[in-house]
Amino acid sequence: MLHIVAKSPFERNALESCLRLSEPGSPILFIEDGVYGALDNTAMSESVKTAMADRSFYVLSADIKARGVTEQVIDGIELVDYEGFVDLVVDKGPSNTWL
Amino acid sequence: MAYEVNGKTIEHDEEGYLTNLSEWDKDVADLIAKDEGVEMTAEHWEVIDFLREYYEEYQIAPAIRVLVKAIGKKLGPEKGSNKYLYELFPYGPAKQACKIGGLPKPTGCV
Amino acid sequence: MAEFEFETEGVVKKFMFLNRKAPYGTIYALEVLETVLISAAFDQEVCLAFVDDGVYQIMKGCDTAETSGMKNFSKTYRALEGYDIEQLFVEKESMEARGLSEDNFIVDVQVIPASEMATLIAGQDVVISG
């Protein structure tokens, strides 16, 4: 199951719930305003870093670039383009989107 | 679009379902039935009454499959069949009976 | 909402409707519920999960009489049994965080901890979230 987080963790609990309700080993992809959850030095960074121990994280490059925060992405979170997004859905699907 | 009953004007949508469910009464039902070409009998009323009770309890009109099963339980297995209900309401028991009963079109009516 | 397709013949997939929003402030809950009712026509294996504010969807005693034009669809969850949808799950953590217990709910549910809910979600063929 691919988990897609599409809302900012500072506006909603989408990321928090995704971390709580995804199984260890799950891939998690940040898109749209969800990409703010991929950033370092935020109130959410520690939770994400802890989850990175047994989950793989990805962020959609187009959405992170659009928001001007590419430099702040946590080390170890992989940037994927749209093609990579499709590959994730195909390889790791089905998917669930956290809004 | 509206029905005219006993000097009252009762609005309906383009398919004939009442706009305001609370305006329904038996005279309105008879008029809609006439429009639909259905001659109302005790058996028809049994189904209409059942649908209205169902709506009151669950706030939806049931899908046909659910209606058939529930009617069978309430009114006896010989009435809990597609055939019986389609004989009463040839254009679809869920759709047609709901319209006559003053209820919205059933959710899940595909 | 996730995109999905119904297979037409003989293929039964596991569908979960994952409810995370409170019922009356936004349209999510009602839209998901209507999708659930429609999906019942396709004979799939359907379950509902209530997490986060989604647990508020199944509160007993909702009365929308004084909110203009808002249908009280809380009662509709009780119709699901007639649609052969009997698998309703509530996440324990979300329920307790809101000071609720099973007695507050209008339908019978299975209360499970987050870890079990995670496993349940992971085992679905399709998750429709709202």
List chains adjacent to chain B, taking adjacency as at least 3 C-beta pairs closer than 8 Å: C
Count of domains for chain B: 1
| pLDDT exceeds 60 at position C96 | yes
Q: How far is C73 from chain A (nearest CA, A)?
A: 22
Q: For chain A, positions 1-60, list CB contacts with chain C under 8 A.
A: 1, 13, 17, 20-23, 26
Tally of domains in chain C: 1
What amino acid is encoded at A75 in this protein?
D
Q: How high is the ipTM of this complex?
A: 0.92
Does residue A25 carry a pLDDT above 80?
yes
**pLDDT at residue C56, rounded to an integer:** 98
CA gap C116, C96 in Å, rounded: 16
Determine the structural domain holding residue B44 and report its residue range.
2-100
* Mutation choice for C interface testing from A13, A26, A96 by most C CBs within 10 A: A96
Domain-embedded: residue B110: no
Question: Is residue B44 in some structural domain?
Answer: yes
Note whether B59 contacts C73, CB cutoff 8 Å: yes
Active site residue B109: yes
Q: Mean pLDDT throughout A32-45?
A: 98
Partner residue facing C114 (CB), from A20, A95, A98 = A20
Q: Read off the pLDDT of residues B32-76 as tens digits, 9 standing for 90 and up.
A: 999 999 999 999 999 999 999 999 999 999 988 899 999 999 999
Q: Which CATH number does the domain housing residue B70 bear?
A: 1.10.10.370
Which of B59, B63, B69 is nearest residue C76 as measured by Cβ atoms?
B59
B59 with C34: Cβ contact below 8 A: no
Residue of higher predicted confidence among C39 and A36: A36
Pick among C4, C5, C18 to test the A interface (most A CBs inside 10 A): C18
Half-sphere exposure of B24 (CA within 13 A, CB side): 22
pLDDT one-digit tens code per residue, C52-69: 999 999 999 998 888 877
Q: Which of B60, B63, B66, B109 is catalytic?
A: B109
Q: How many other β-carbons are positioned within 10 Å of the β-carbon of residue B110?
A: 8
Kindly state the tokens that stand for C42.
């396709």
Distance, in Å, from the CA atom of B51 to the CA atom of B21, rounded to the nearest integer, reads 13
Vertex C97: Cα angle to C92 and C103 (nearest 5):
60
C-alpha distances (whole Å) from B25 to each of A5, B20, B28, B92 are: 50, 12, 5, 21
Domain-embedded: residue B105: no
C-beta atoms of C76 and B58 within 8 A: yes
pTM for the complete prediction?
Answer: 0.90
Domain that holds residue C45: 14-129
Domains of chain A and any CATH numbers: 2-98 (3.40.1260.10)
Given the structure tokens 């609720």, which residue do they identify?
Answer: C100
Say if C125 falls within a structural domain: yes
Count of Cβ atoms closer than 10 Å to residue C101 Cβ: 9
Indicate yes or no: CB of C51 within 8 angstroms of CB of A17.
yes
- Residue B108 domain flag: no
* Residue C103's CATH number: 3.40.1260.10
B22 touches chain C (CB under 8 A): no
Cα end-to-end span (Å), chain C: 7
Determine contact: C106 vs chain B, CB below 8 A: no
Report, as an integer, the average pLDDT of A22-46. Answer: 98
